[in-house]
A = this chain, B = another copy of it.
Amino acid sequence: MTDRTSPLESFHEFLRSRDLKSTSQRDMIVEQIFSKPHHHFSAEELLETLREKDPSMSRATVYRTLLLLQDGNMLEELDIGKGHKYFEPMLGVSHHDHLICLGCEQIIEFESPEIESIQDQIIKKNQFEAVYHTHRIFGYCQLCQKKSK
């Protein structure tokens, strides 16, 4: 929809809509997240990267900004079962699910309209009102399968 606007612009728009302020810290965080092609990261990894550029970057600010981005639908949580959350940027990306390698933590994405449609039937049958879903398949990627041989 808004292919023309940059992530930072979208973010500023979101802040304005909530009467929140733009700050250099928030901008730095958003720029860092959206500077890479679609990827996955943890809060602590992000903090570490940001501190290389600005050692005074606060852990609290990073966590608070991640919450903001989730509120603004620019970011989604992704639980890979490792005791901490992963995040994935969701700007200009359509819904998808994940194959997660238990060996190297590589994440492969997949989309399946067939599954989604069966899922819709299940939801209807249970008179449930769905908000979101996650479908994760854990196992070993091709490379890790070879390694273990």
Measured CB to CB, the closest approach of chain B to A125, in angstroms, equals 8
Pick from B119, B138, B141: contact of A137, CB below 8 A: B119
> Which chain B residue has the least Cβ–Cβ distance from A137?
B133
| Alpha-carbon distance between A139 and B123 when the two chains are bound, in angstroms | 10
Q: Which residues of B contact A35 (CB under 8 A)?
A: none
State the majority secondary structure of interface residues on A: strand
| Alpha-carbon distance between A140 and B123 when the two chains are bound, in angstroms | 10
Q: Is the CB of A134 within 8 A of B133?
A: no
Q: Is the CB of B123 within 8 A of A115?
A: no
| Alpha-carbon distance between A134 and B139 when the two chains are bound, in angstroms | 12
Q: Is the CB of B112 within 8 A of A141?
A: no
Query: In this assembly, does A136 line the interface, its C-beta being within 8 Å of a C-beta of chain B?
Result: yes
Q: Mark A97-120, 1 if CB is under 8 A from B, else 0.
A: 001011000001010101100110
Query: In this assembly, does A142 line the interface, its C-beta being within 8 Å of a C-beta of chain B?
Result: yes
Q: Is the CB of B112 within 8 A of A126?
A: no
Copies of this chain, whole number: 2
Q: Which residues of B contact A139 (CB under 8 A)?
A: 123, 128-132
Pick from B99, B114, B123, B132: contact of A123, CB below 8 A: B99
Pick from B108, B114, B128: contact of A140, CB below 8 A: B128
Query: In this assembly, does A56 line the interface, its C-beta being within 8 Å of a C-beta of chain B?
Result: no
Query: In this assembly, does A81 line the interface, its C-beta being within 8 Å of a C-beta of chain B?
Result: yes
- Which residues 23-37 of A sit at the B interface, judged by CB distance below 8 A? none
Q: Is the CB of A131 within 8 A of B123?
A: no
> Which chain B residue has the least Cβ–Cβ distance from A127?
B142
